[in-house]
Amino acid sequence: MFKKILIANRGEIAVRIIRACKEWGISTVAIHSDVDRESMHVKLADESICVGSHQPANSYLNIPAILSAIELTNSEAVHPGYGFLSENYNFAKILEENNIKFIGPSAKHIQMMGDKIQAKKIAKEYGLPVIEGSEGGVKNIDEANKILKNTGLPVLIKAAGGGGGKGMKIVRNEKEFENLFLTAKLEAKKYFGNDEVYIEKFFENPRHIEVQILAGKNRVVHLHERDCSVQRRHQKLIEETPSPILNDTIRRDLFERTVNMVKKIGYEGAGTVEFIYEDGKFYFLEMNTRVQVEHPVTEVVTGIDIIKEQIWIASSGETALEQKDIQPRGHAIECRINAEDPSKNFQPSPGTIGMCHQPSGFRTRVDGAIYQGYKVTPYYDSMVCKLICHGRNRTEAIQRMNRSLDEFIIEGITTTIELHKKLINHEKFVKSDFNVTWLDKEKII
């Protein structure tokens, strides 16, 4: 097992990793920017080191500075969390070349599955159904028009190297196709340094289902599925497990095919394979080669600490789990609490937190890094914490989430707590009668 791990991240996920390391008896090093000196992850780590200024490019994405921090602190391994460098294969490759363990898959697998076009080809090769559309990147508008004729409208134009809704355009009208195609390419270049896009059939009423996997050299297990269909502009707001809409036959098929693909490509570590689900059929969307924001819902129903398992796999090369060990119990829901004002088109709400009371009680978990006096800056992602509630069934999980949201007090900034109260009490959420376009179509916010 490692003696010292550097956490190449900040905020709640850095705190989450430090907690797992402490339980393993592993020393931790926190990196931080100049504005994050008083952050919770810095306070909790055994050591801390400033790697640059508040701009992410100068600190949390500053590979030379992070490598220097690794050398100065004699760290043996790096946990990247999610975001920032977690899916940067160049960073993983540099660590590999310097005999520093990257707690995640190999650089080869990050590159392989990070390219959405290549990932789609791999998924298809190993038996996962894929969405109809272009076989690879679409170079120009003439090629794009040929694909449009084959698939028909509506279509989705997506950046090959991206995510989070950037470089993504829905086309419902042929007249707007060319303009949106060129706009998607420009956005892809701006955000990901690669203007390659691909085109696929757009689903009007899909659910977003994902399968959590843990893979060692000789064994791959799944930790069942999550339903992440409550989204706004492709950004997840609420996640839950199990999905209320899948039956056991579909689940079994989904799990078997997913595990088979992950085995065949020789993947190691934690990962999530994402799918679009509509009309009883699922289609491969992408694979995230890191821990997900929503991993806690899986943890509370399975009783498995995914971060500790990531560290164990990185250290030993194998998962200690067998499929028969994984028996989910009950239902879990997670609400992402963001420092945003929903009444002002989700405008970020930086500021200093005044009174801060976080909910607790039976089967209630808060993953965060906030405290009274903590300064929420405008430089990073606006999520300040996650509230996770576990019940014997979905109804009880919703009831517990209601109670917990009522207990949550964060003064000094505007948050999405009140929005979550509206969402989980909405008739469509209670009945699970929604899809990923629900919030973009209905005026709930």
Edge-to-edge, what's the strand order for the sheet holding 281-288? 281-288, 269-278, 207-215, 220-232, 235-241, 331-338, 383-391, 364-368
Query: What pLDDT is attached to residue 393?
Result: 98
DSSP-derived pairing of the beta strands 27-33 and 47-52 = parallel
Evaluate whether the domain defined by 132-201 bears CATH number 3.30.300.350.
Answer: no
For the segment 427-433, the average pLDDT, to the nearest whole number, is 97
Q: Which helix (H) or strand (E) holds 177?
A: helix 177-192
SS3 for 366? strand
b vs e for 323-338, b when ≥16 Cβ sit within 10 Å of the residue's Cβ? eeebebebbbbbbbbb
Distance in angstroms (rounded) separating the CA atoms of residues 305 and 327: 14
Out of 10, 207, 226, 290, the active site residue is 290
Q: How confident is the model at residue 424 (pLDDT cuts 50, 70, 90)?
A: very high
Q: Check if the beta carbon of residue 36 is closer than 8 Å to that of residue 42.
A: yes
pLDDT tens across 325-345, in order? 999 999 999 999 999 999 999
> Which pLDDT value is given to residue 401?
98
Q: What's the average model confidence in pLDDT over 416-435?
A: 97
For position 164, what pLDDT does the model report?
63
d(CA 210, CA 103): 21
pLDDT band at 444 (very low <50, low <70, confident <90, very high): confident
pLDDT tens for 223-269 read 999 999 999 988 999 999 999 999 999 999 999 999 999 999 999 99
Domain boundaries 4-98, CATH class: alpha beta
Q: How many Å from the N-terminal Cα to the C-terminal Cα in the chain?
A: 48
Q: Which residues pair with 278 in a beta bridge?
A: 281
pLDDT at 168 over 80: yes
Is the per-residue pLDDT at 443 higher than 80? no
pLDDT of residue 81: 98
Is there a catalytic annotation at residue 290? yes
**Section 339-360 average pLDDT:** 97
> What CA–CA distance (Å, rounded) separates 104 from 399?
36
Residues of each domain in the chain carrying CATH 3.30.1490.20: 132-201
C-alpha span between 96 and 73 (Å, rounded): 18
pLDDT, tens only, 396-409: 999 999 999 999 99
Q: What is the mean pLDDT of the chain?
A: 95
> Highest mean pLDDT: which of 153-157, 161-165, 172-176, 257-261?
257-261
Composition of the chain by helix, strand, coil, percent to 5: 35, 25, 35
Instruction: Determine the residue type at 298.
Output: T
Q: What is the predicted pLDDT for the residue at 38? A: 97
For CATH 3.30.470.20, the residue range(s) in the chain are 207-441
Range of weakest confidence among 129-138, 211-220, 307-316: 129-138
CATH class (in words) of the domain with range 207-441: alpha beta
In this structure, are residues 301 and 333 in contact, taking their beta carbons and an 8 Å threshold? no
Domain ranges in the chain with CATH number 3.40.50.20: 4-98
